[in-house]
Amino acid sequence: MESECKPGDTIQCPVSELLVNTADVAACVQVTGFGGRGVFLIENGEILAAYFKDDYNLYAGESAVDFLRAKPLLEWHLQIIEHGELSEMHERAIADDWAVSGSANAKNKSPEVMDDEKLRRIVRQPGVITVSAFFEGFPVQSVGKGDFEHVSAIAEDLLKEGTLIAHDLGFGDLDQLILETRAGKFIIAPLGDLFVCVHTAADANLGLIRMALKSVQ
């Protein structure tokens, strides 16, 4: 099903902020980012249908919502439409099997829990102190030693800023972000539907850690 959106307002934000911005309207929203494109149908801040396709996967309905909710920053092309028009588009989305089931409110959905062994494979690398998979600034799964909530909140801020800088430089989507000081190193990378942050000692071998990250992605 092709999107019926027309050029309109364009905003850059995560899914949670998009829903706040559409709390009182009916909207058809085109989304771009992370190597793909898609469409959301939204009514009064609730997602009725969702579709997203990249070079490797096609996500529809709740799987599209879950996949994009884990992303820190996306570009949304917003088109306000009449509620009657939204109903017709929603019916076609149901026929095409990308409507969101249930109440259509996906605000509190989180990605599924990942295999804990993936994180343990990373934390076993020499010099690794903490490994934490996070979602919108909150730790979902963590291993090692440290304040996981504090680390995940900082990682979310770094990820958002790094994504903006990469886009401003024309470098495309962020693959890995590395912060290195005399006191330690900090790596952020995508891991499934989540992002993972790795805190290491100053003498940790970045090459080995990056290889471990690639092996579990």
- Provide the pLDDT for residue 183: 92
| pTM of the entire predicted model | 0.50
- Predicted confidence at residue 39, as pLDDT, reads 93
Q: In whole angstroms, what is the distance from residue 81 CA to residue 212 CA?
A: 47
Assign domain 116-216 to its CATH superfamily: Dynein light chain 2a, cytoplasmic (3.30.450.30)
pLDDT along the chain (217 residues), means of 10: 52 90 90 89 92 82 87 89 84 81 44 68 92 82 84 86 85 86 92 87 91 84
Query: What's the rounded Cα separation, in Å, for the pair 131 and 154?
Result: 13
What pLDDT score does 151 carry? 85
How much is the pLDDT for 168? 83
Place of tokens 């027309």: 6
Domain layout of the chain by residue ranges: 9-95, 116-216
H/E element, 30: strand 26-33
Query: What pLDDT is stored for residue 137 in this prediction?
Result: 76
pLDDT at 202: 94
In contact, 58 and 37? CB cutoff 8 Å: no
